[in-house]
Amino acid sequence: MKFQFALTLLCCLWFKNISAQNFQLGTWNILNISYSHNEKWSFFGEAQIRSLKFYKHFHYYEYKGGINYRVHKNVKLTLGAGSYQTYKEGGDFVLPKNNDEFRLWPQVTLSQTLGKFKIEQRYRAEFRFTTNGYRNRFRYRLGLSYAFGKDRKTYKPFQVSASNELFFTTKEPYFERNRILIAFNYKPTKSTMLQLGYLHQFDYKINDETGLDFFQIGYFIEFSRLKVRTAFIDTDSKDN
């Protein structure tokens, strides 16, 4: 009885603390289209739009594209480029912009399986031409995913995944951001995937993309000349 009372009191205090902090859930929306030419070469294009409140106060959008080359079944090289636009807080696309940026980014993705789990490590260097001048940034993401459900010949329909990404720069204070994502993925067909997730990020004195907590929804479409597609559509080209 004492334990139940203490647990109830703890929950009440936790919800009160969340309310006192004026918790805001933004939105993070993704459309990704990819094309696999063969087992080595593939291409992708992606658009994102984000808001600081739940489908209002839209403040950010980006569009980008790139090319992938699979050196080994567990090693993929990527070269991407895109436009990244950040607006002032307080409404929908409020001017003047916080940041108007063109970005070029090479990356390396390493993957391996451990039992039924897939482990992914992504290393990315970003060459950023921003409103405030040229900047460098380096990112490392570690992800873990697990596919499940009744087999549909070459793939399973469901997947849960989690990732943590660190952002660094070449100038003090060097550390810039930490981004954590927990997601549920559903693959209704061989060529499409729907992603629902919760993303939390901690920013340290930056203005290129603000906000702490986001509801994420993504739709991924894959075209391919290959007869057999991968069990799950790769999502390592997207920023989160």
Mean pLDDT in consecutive groups of 10 residues from the start of the chain, 240 residues: 45 44 85 95 97 96 98 97 95 95 98 95 98 95 95 88 96 91 95 96 73 94 78 64
Three-class secondary structure of residue 20 per DSSP: helix
| Contacts of residue 146, Cβ cutoff 8 Å, sequence gap at least 6 | 116, 117, 118, 159, 160, 161
Q: For residues 201 and 212, is the Cβ–Cβ distance under 8 A?
A: yes
Which of 90, 66, 119 lies closest to 239, judged by CA? 66
Per CATH, is 23-224 categorized as 2.40.160.40? yes
Using DSSP, state whether 154 is helix, strand or coil: coil
Which structure tokens are listed for 120?
């992914």
Q: 233 in helix, strand or coil?
A: coil
User: Structural domain boundaries of the chain?
Assistant: 23-224
**How far, in Å, are 100, 108, 138, 167 from residue 128 at the CA level?**
10, 18, 11, 14
How many CB atoms sit inside 10 A of residue 48's CB? 21
Place of tokens 């009440």: 12
pLDDT of residue 20: 41
State the distance between the two ends of the chain, measured CA to CA, in whole angstroms. Answer: 44
Q: Work out the angle at residue 82's Cα, subtended by the Cα atoms of residues 76 and 29, and round it to the nearest 5 degrees.
A: 90
Name the residue among 60, 49, 62, 57 with its Cα closest to residue 25.
57
Q: Are 155 and 142 within 8 A, CB to CB?
A: no
Please tell me the pTM assigned to this model.
0.85
The pair of structure tokens assigned to 135 is 């900047």
* Bridge pairing between strands 41-53 and 75-88: unpaired
CA 240 to chain centre: 2
Backbone CA torsion sign across 191, 197, 203, 209: positive
CB 221 within 8 A of CB 191: yes
